Amino acid sequence: MSTASGDAWVEGPDGSRFWGRFGAAGLLAWDPERGVLMQHRASWSHFGDTWGLPGGARHDDEDAVTGAIREANEEAGVSGSDLEVVTTSVLDLGFWSYTTVVARVVHPFEPVISDPESIALAWVPVDEVAGLPLHPGFAASWPALRGLLVA
């Protein structure tokens, strides 16, 4: 079994760049009481100093759910046992894809900054997410993702 890292840029036909040789995935952890877990991205990262979801490049042998939870664990100390996956939302560009894994928190937890990619981690009430300076990709997808959050 190979576990090659996907940590590399992929270039689109128009020259745009996307992180993750095998695609990328992020975790939208939703706690109905506290909101969604947001990550304030380090200034040196792609679209740095914006808010988005914990996530990143998938490994060559992992599905999107596994990749999103692995990345959220690496970046925010999130345990898959604290979550119930509700659905996924996929942006597929043909040469690259990003999957948002929507998961309901079933065991409340406090996130922990566990790598240098985060300035802060916070539970943000759903109604306040759009007021943050969001990563452009997340900002574009937030209206549809918000509609997936159902009690």
Q: pLDDT tens-digit profile of 20-29?
A: 899 999 999 9
Domain containing residue 23: CATH number: 3.90.79.10
More confident residue, 46 or 49: 49
Domain that holds residue 74: 16-146
More confident residue, 7 or 40: 40
Domain count, the chain: 1
> CA–CA separation, 47 vs 52, rounded Å?
10
Residue 11 in domain: no
Quick one: tokens of 42? 């380090």
- Whole-number mean pLDDT of the chain? 92
pLDDT at residue 109, rounded to an integer: 96
> What mean pLDDT is predicted for residues 2-14?
84
Residue 2 in domain: no
pLDDT at residue 151, rounded to an integer: 59
Residue 6 in domain: no
Residue 123 in domain: yes
What pLDDT, in 10s, does the model give residues 100-149?
999 999 999 999 998 888 899 999 999 999 999 999 999 999 999 999 99
**pLDDT-derived band at 42, boundaries 50, 70, 90:** confident
pLDDT at residue 59, rounded to an integer: 93
List C-alpha distances in Å: 46 to 72, 108, 122, 125: 17, 29, 20, 25
Residue 150 has pLDDT above 60, yes or no: yes
CA 42 to chain centre: 14
Residue 62 has pLDDT above 70, yes or no: yes
Residue 71 in domain: yes
Residue 115 in domain: yes
Residue 133 buriedness (CB in 10 A; 0-12 / 13-18 / 19+): exposed
Residue 130 in domain: yes
Residue 66 in domain: yes
> What mean pLDDT is predicted for residues 36-65?
91
